Structures are given as structure tokens and as C-alpha cells.
Amino acid sequence: MSTIRALRPTAPRVTLEAEAIPRDLDDAYRKYCRYVAAVCLRISGRRSELEDLIQEVFAEAASSFEALREPDAMRGWLATIAVRVTRRRLFRRRLFGLVGLGSTVEYEALPDPGASPYDRALLGAIYRALDQLAPDDRIAFVLHHIEGETLDSVAKLAGCSITTAKRRVFRAKSALERRLSDD
């Protein structure tokens, strides 16, 4: 899975060094927009949907921003919203594909521009294979293997038990191995 690391640099990481806790949604957007974008991009695999996904995440966050009791938990809270919003998009995309309204995507544009041609092609193949998975399995795999989240964190972000998260990651990994070995 070392090739998957070539995907990580495409969306910059947010540094959390001694920055003030966001006071309002504008501050939260400035501080966490890139992080939310990274989560959405890696799960959806489509740059063309990224702006819409970010807007949806922060629109949903706006409706409950004042109710957030622990400002230190904002990053995780936004990640959970990003996973939920992207999950809905994956289900919608899958439905459109079933009725013949799906679109083609160039996944080779996802990795870091400095990635080798081999890594770019491999990541394209991985994301094409991810498109064949159930959205929940895809999310668990991406969060665990691409984002580097622990299974406990995957379970929290995906809103499921740890056992279910393990099962989804295993199922996705097995399906990817089968599909990629066929190619």
C-alpha cells in the first residue's frame, strides 16, 4: 500500500500549531477548509465535485455550529460531516450509474504531480476499482488505508461499530485485491 501514499500530498495537510480555536464559521472555514477538502477528495476521488462537497459540508456545519460544545473537537466534527456528505454523494453517483447517467473520470489527476507514472496509473486503477465498491466499504477503506485513520477513528467517522468498520475495511481490501489482480 506504499503507492497509496502518492495520493496524500495532493491535498495539503492543516497544521494545528498553537492556532486559536475558531470563534465562528468563517474562522472554522479558513482553518479547516483544506482538511475538509482532503477528506472529501480522497473519499470521492473526483476533483470536479470538490467545491460542491466543501460547500455542503460547511452548510451542514452552519446549521449546528453554535451547538458544538467542545471547540477542540471541531476538526473531528467537520470530518464526520465530510464523511456523511461524501457518502450521500457516493450513493447518488451509484444510483445515477445504475440508470446510465454516470460520468467518466480521469483518476490519474488525483495523485501528487511528482508521483511516478506507475504510481499515477496504479492510483487510477485503485480509484476505478473503488467505484465498484459499496459506498460504506469504500469510505472505510479510504479512511483507514489512505487517510491513515485507526479502526476506532474509522468507526466514529463512519458512524458504525469497530467490528463493522473492520468488516468493511476487510471486504473492501479483498475486493480491491481481486479486481486489481485481474487487471
- Position 133 scores a pLDDT of 92
Per the document, the length of the chain is: 183
Q: Please tell me the pTM assigned to this model.
A: 0.77
What the block records as the C-alpha cell of 101 is 447517467
Helices (H) and strands (E) in the chain, counts: 7, 0
Range of the domain at 83: 2-182
Q: How many CB atoms lie within 10 A of CB 152?
A: 10
- Position 23 scores a pLDDT of 73
The number of folded domains in the chain is 1
DSSP, res 48: G
Query: What's the N-to-C CA distance of the chain in angstroms?
Result: 17
- Position 123 scores a pLDDT of 80
Grid cell 482553518 in the structure block, residue: 31
Cα(47)–Cα(105) distance, integer angstroms = 9
**Per-position pLDDT tens, the chain of length 183:** 444 544 544 444 444 444 566 777 888 899 999 999 999 999 998 888 899 999 999 999 988 887 777 777 888 899 999 999 999 999 988 886 666 666 666 665 566 667 788 877 788 888 888 988 999 999 999 999 989 999 999 999 999 999 999 999 999 999 999 988 875
- Position 111 scores a pLDDT of 61
